[in-house]
């Protein structure tokens, strides 16, 4: 029906949107369309307020802010971990807000990569985000192994991975597995439950990078018996640039000595004993290292409130509706312009963004930005568009595709060089 491809139809979808009230919680550029929430989420008013609140606690209490005020700093990582646990299907003590994605990966691998006998290799994949591979290679080197001990499952088409291929690679040479939950480029969701079961059947520990899934799709990490996971908080969680990351540790590993121990690994009751023998916390809190970055974690207090109210299941439901609608529009409006949808179409395998390819992708992204549409370019020919459930509307999706259609029909991208900017 042609009416589906009109602005009026988009507005009718917005009128029925149960999450539409949360749009007013965010700072939006009303003259533009933001479609890059899978790289950096927008600032919410509550995140801004909680940042001010933590600044004020420093101003008001000085050093007593560690134990005084509404959000005592000493317990902040644990309290935020508890709030975040519901987003990943974990018990409250299994999540801690700490570090950065890559630091947390180093910490977890340094703990769980224990090569022995013929089990000396780490299993990863060829499509994961580069930082994970850098960290894994560095950890191999620290243990005296070279890159040949990193096994990367290959993709047949450069877009997707087959779980069967991953499972086949789980040989008796594998000591540890680290995989993404969602592929950062194509948006494919891996079956974490199936892969965890397969790894454990072979006595291999397995962990997941949730950077492109947390805050976008539901998880059941504890139920699936995942050993560990780690993620950033500045994408779908809207914690702000460089906001403090988080990790999950299955409770069966509580009491395990952390591979990269530090002062804040301590049992909270013993930390100020100043003993030179560490007594690690009997929770995921043992995987902290140094003093928490209080001012960088502050926006998460407000940001997580929105997810608690909206509910991750409702966020997922709208996210799928938005991306379904975007793909319908692209297929209808841009079928003759060489734009190819390269993300999974089915709901079970699709994450929170739409991924398209075109030979002139870098130019097209620059043309979109000139029209105040903010996309995300991925070399060599990819464009990611992420309509975020908490703040994007169906009319945003409509406008995005209509502007893209005009750019393609009029070849407005020709005025730009087909190469990425420094940050893309």
Reading the block at residue 16, the tokens are 């029925």
The answer to whether the Cα torsion of 138, 139, 145, 147 is positive or negative is negative
112 annotated to a ligand binding site:
no
277 annotated to a ligand binding site:
no
C-alpha to C-alpha distance for 382 and 355, rounded to whole angstroms: 7
The answer to whether the Cα torsion of 195, 197, 203, 204 is positive or negative is positive
212 annotated to a ligand binding site:
yes
Q: From residue 303, give the alpha-carbon distance in Å to each of 66, 99, 361, 414.
A: 21, 18, 32, 40
C-alpha to C-alpha distance for 119 and 173, rounded to whole angstroms: 4
C-alpha to C-alpha distance for 159 and 355, rounded to whole angstroms: 10
Reading the block at residue 83, the tokens are 């709030």
231 annotated to a ligand binding site:
no
C-alpha to C-alpha distance for 377 and 355, rounded to whole angstroms: 10
293 annotated to a ligand binding site:
no
C-alpha to C-alpha distance for 383 and 74, rounded to whole angstroms: 42
129 annotated to a ligand binding site:
yes
How would you classify the pairing of strands 340-341 and 33-34?
Answer: unpaired
C-alpha to C-alpha distance for 325 and 240, rounded to whole angstroms: 28
222 annotated to a ligand binding site:
no
Q: Is 95 helix (H, G, I), strand (E, B) or coil?
A: strand
130 annotated to a ligand binding site:
yes
Judging by beta carbons within 10 Å of its beta carbon (0-12, 13-18, 19+), is residue 92 exposed, middle or buried?
Answer: middle
291 annotated to a ligand binding site:
yes
C-alpha to C-alpha distance for 220 and 63, rounded to whole angstroms: 38
Annotated binding site: 101-102, 129-132, 209, 212, 234, 263, 291
Annotated binding site for pyridoxal 5'-phosphate: 101-102, 129-132, 209, 212, 234, 263, 291
């Amino acid at each position: 029906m042609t009416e589906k491809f009109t602005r009026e139809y988009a507005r009718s979808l917005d009128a029925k949107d149960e999450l539409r009230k949360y749009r007013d919680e965010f700072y939006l550029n009303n003259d533009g369309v933001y479609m890059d929430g899978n790289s950096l989420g927008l600032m919410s008013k509550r995140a801004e307020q909680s940042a001010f609140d933590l600044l004020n606690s420093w101003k008001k209490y000085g050093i007593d802010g560690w134990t005084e005020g509404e959000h005592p700093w000493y317990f902040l990582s644990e309290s935020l971990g508890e709030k975040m646990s519901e987003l990943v299907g974990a018990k409250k003590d299994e999540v801690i807000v700490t570090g950065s994605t890559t630091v947390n990966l180093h910490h977890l691998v340094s703990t769980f990569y224990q090569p022995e006998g013929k089990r000396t290799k780490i299993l990863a994949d060829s499509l994961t985000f580069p930082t994970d591979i850098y960290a894994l290679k560095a950890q191999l080197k620290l243990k005296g192994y070279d890159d040949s001990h990193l096994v990367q499952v290959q993709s047949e088409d450069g877009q997707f991975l087959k779980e069967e291929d991953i499972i086949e690679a789980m040989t008796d040479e594998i000591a540890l597995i680290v995989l993404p939950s969602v592929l950062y480029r194509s948006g494919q969701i891996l079956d974490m439950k199936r892969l965890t079961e397969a790894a454990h059947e072979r006595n291999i520990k397995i962990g997941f990078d949730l950077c492109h899934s947390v805050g976008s799709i539901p998880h059941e990490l504890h139920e699936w018996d995942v050993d560990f996971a780690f993620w950033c908080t500045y994408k779908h969680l809207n914690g702000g640039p460089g906001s403090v990351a988080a990790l999950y540790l299955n409770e069966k590993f509580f009491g395990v000595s952390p591979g990269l121990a530090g002062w804040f690994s301590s049992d909270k009751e013993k930390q100020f004993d100043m003993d030179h023998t560490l007594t690690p916390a009997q929770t995921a809190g043992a995987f902290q290292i140094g003093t928490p970055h209080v001012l960088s974690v502050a926006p998460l207090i407000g940001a997580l409130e929105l997810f608690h109210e909206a509910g991750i299941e409702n966020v997922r439901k709208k996210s799928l509706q938005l991306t379904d609608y975007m793909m319908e529009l692209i297929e209808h409006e841009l079928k003759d312009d060489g734009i190819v949808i390269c993300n999974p179409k089915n709901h079970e395998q699709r994450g929170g963004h739409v991924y398209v390819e075109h030979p002139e992708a870098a130019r097209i992204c620059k043309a979109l930005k000139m029209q105040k549409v903010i996309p995300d370019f991925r070399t060599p020919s990819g464009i990611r568009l992420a309509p975020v459930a908490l703040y994007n509307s169906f009319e945003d999706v409509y406008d995005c595709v209509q502007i893209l259609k005009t750019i393609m029909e009029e070849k407005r991208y020709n005025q730009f060089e087909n190469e990425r900017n420094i940050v893309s």
